[in-house]
Structure 1
Amino acid sequence: MNILMLSDVYFPRVNGVSTSIRTFAQSLARSGHAVTLVVPDYGPGSGQELHDSDEFEIVRLQARVIFFDPEDRLIRAPELRRILPQLAQRHWDVIHIHTPFRAHRLGVQLAQASGRPTVETYHTYFEEYIGHYLPWAPAPLLRFVARRVSRTLCHGVDHLIVPTAQMVEVLDRYGVTTPSTVLPTGIDLSEFARGDGARFRAEHEIDARRPTIVTVSRLAVEKNIAFLLQVARRLIADFPELMFIIAGEGPDAERLKRLSKEFGLERNVRFFGNLDRRTSLLDAYRAGDAFVFASPTETQGLVLIEAMALGVPIVSTAVMGTATVLRGARSAVVSEENVEAFARHVGDVLRSPQRRAELAAAGPLDARAWSTEGLMEQVVALYQRLAQAKPALMTTTSTTATELSR
């Protein structure tokens, strides 16, 4: 199949959406499908060339910085007008949209020009995110806007891919009637067969005997890392040599570093920024005696699956998408979002080598349920059904696209 994917975010911007998109594109390409990915250009010095792939085509469009979220980019409107006729001249079996901004607009216009089916993945629980980025606006108004915009966007495509059943329930509450399929992204398990925790500890002078917890996350308010810092502060009483490894970057980084100092955790918390996903990030995961996570807004929670695959014991809350990942998992201890309770669960894991070994051994077995191999077969079957049900328009698509772009 010829598959066009469109997104307002991709590497070098590190987050779950970028990871999900790359997993989709790589898996489809390795199965013999032709994939073209249209994403923002992050500009010179961004390191984006390190993330380009020879497995699938990447088209980058000029974009500008978003003032309230400088990590992200907004594709420039003239770029949409320029690229639309070019894309419309090519044959696509399906158009897969991953984000609801300029990429969504481009995908819908292209579908109108070509008659091809559109699929959109609902990656992000915007109702819970938007207030952190526009804190000056009334929360009820933001929730109303997020719900209304989500409903409008979802009704503009032919089919939705939703990572978990919990998000389907959310969209039902919004009044979304577009047909949907629950299909988590999953991970390529072969990428998580490595990692050397001892090497990471040695390189960063963390004693091999030191009790260590780790989290991997974008550093943003909605990820609830401040709660994990409170947990670490509580744990210090029982584990004075505790080390908390935090891998990731984001707009909340400076506040979290200040909180760490205010909590007296200078010796116990280290921020490592974004690490190479093929090497040092895998080492960082495995350097932990436990992986901790408490985000309440995940549509899936890919880092939990990654920790499972790497055999790192997990202590996490289970809300929204993380509840789906952790349901029945033998490699995780589920906790409520309460500092005392969460710290108690982590402490139990840190104290017991046997318990850690049991959780670690179960991790790769739990991760098998989230392998991309079987999940991508379901994605391709969905693409094929949609393509067969919606034949291409028998018109001159280049002319139609030019008219639409005006």
Structure 2
Amino acid sequence: MRILHWNDGYYPHIGGTELLVRSLCHVQQAAGHHVTVVGRSLPDCPAEEEIDNIPVWRRPVPEERLIQQPGLLSQQVKACAAFKRRFQPDVIHIHGSHMAGWLHLLTREAVSCPTILSLHAPIRLPAPVQRRLLMGVEAVAAVSASMKQQFAPLLEAHRTGSSCSQRPVLSRHLPRPPPTAVHRPVPGAHRARERF
């Protein structure tokens, strides 16, 4: 299976979502799946690279420039749609619902495949875009019980009387991945924190 992880960020930017996506990619690769991560453009990072044996494609226009120069949005949408067509995923897993979710909506017609939305944090999109995103996925996964509880009213409101009434809402707790060279703690850092 070809799995496209559609994310707001990825290495070398490190956070909880990036660690979770990395862990999922390794588990899926071990099961024989072909995975790729799409992340935001970062300074000094190539457009395509392999990090920790995971292929990564970065959207070409930094999000900050999209806000400052909205005309660049069509360039971003065309590039994202072209990448989706090139990769030909069997499933798209959206992590987060900020720029990644919005760009997925704008490029949804590029490929036809099931989509999963993982809720990692509050949705920072206008309400109509939130509704379109929630209505346009086959499954919604909350990464913690608190995220599931926080999103429950929003999900229930969108389920009532809609075509997504049978869509599952999942809550899974994934174990913390073992550290790799990419995100090992700096020796002595805990001592520096104790001083403050």
Distance 1:98 1:30 in 2: 20
Residue 35 (structure 1) shift? 0.4
The answer to which of 160-169 and 57-66 deviates more is: 57-66
Structure 2: distance between partners of 1:90 and 1:25: 16
- Post-superposition shift, 1:99? 2.5
Is 1:245 the equivalent of 2:193?
yes
Q: Distance in 2 between matches of 1:190 and 1:116?
A: 33
2:162 is aligned to none
1:181-192 equivalences under 5 Å are: 181-189=170-178
Distance 1:146 1:108, change over 3 A: closer
Residue 171 of structure 1: aligned partner: 151
Give yes or no for contact 1:34–1:56 (8 Å, CA) kept in 2. no
Going from structure 1 to structure 2, the CA distance change for 1:165 and 1:7 (only over 3 Å counts) comes to same
Where in structure 1 are there 5+ consecutive unaligned residues? 68-73, 131-144, 205-213, 215-242, 247-267, 270-406
Aligned partners of 2:105 and 2:133 also within 8 Å: no
Contact 2:82 2:110 in 1 (8 A): no
Name 1:84's counterpart in structure 2. 81
Q: Secondary structure at the match of 2:27?
A: helix
Find runs of 4+ consecutive structure 1 residues off by over 6 angstroms: 145-148
Q: State how far apart, in whole Å, the 1-side matches of 2:28 and 2:51 are.
A: 13
TM-score by length of 1: 0.38
More helix by share: 1
C-alpha separation between the residues in 1 aligned to 2:63 and 2:83? 25
> Which residue of 1 is the match for residue 62 of structure 2?
64
Q: Does the 8 A contact of 1:2 with 1:92 survive in 2?
A: yes
Q: Does 1:123 align with 2:124?
A: no
Residue 172 of structure 2 corresponds to residue 180 of structure 1: no
Instruction: Report if aligned partners of 1:98, 1:122 keep a CA contact under 8 Å in 2.
Output: yes
Two-structure CA RMSD over aligned residues (Å): 3.5
The equivalent residue for 1:38 is 38
Q: Is residue 40–residue 61 contact of structure 1 (8 Å, CA) maintained in 2?
A: yes
Q: Kindly provide the amino acid, as one letter, of the partner of residue 57 in structure 1.
A: P
- Percent identical among aligned pairs is 20
Structure possessing the higher radius of gyration over alpha carbons: 1
C-alpha displacement of 1:121: 0.7
CA positional deviation for 1:26: 2.1
Aligned to 1:154: 134
Shift of 1:38: 1.2
Q: Give aligned pairs, total.
A: 178
Q: Distance in 2 between matches of 1:147 and 1:123?
A: 17
Inter-CA distance 112–60: structure 2 relative to 1 (3 Å threshold)? same
TM-score scaled to structure 2, two decimals?
0.71
Please give the secondary structure, in 2, of the residue aligned with 1:63: coil
Change (3 A) 1:79 1:172: same
Q: Which residue of 2 aligns with 1:211?
A: none
What are the residue-to-residue correspondences of 1:4-403 with 2, within 5 Å? 4-44=4-44, 52-53=50-51, 55-64=53-62, 66=64, 77=73, 78-126=75-123, 150-174=130-154, 175-177=157-159, 178-189=167-178, 200-201=187-188, 214=190, 245=193, 268-269=195-196
Per-residue deviation, residues 358-403 of structure 1 (Å, max 9, x unmatched): xxxxxxxxxxxxxxxxxxxxxxxxxxxxxxxxxxxxxxxxxxxxxx
> Residues 116 and 165 of structure 1: is their aligned pair in 2 closer, same or farther, counting only changes over 3 Å?
same
Structure 2 gaps of 5+ residues are 160-166
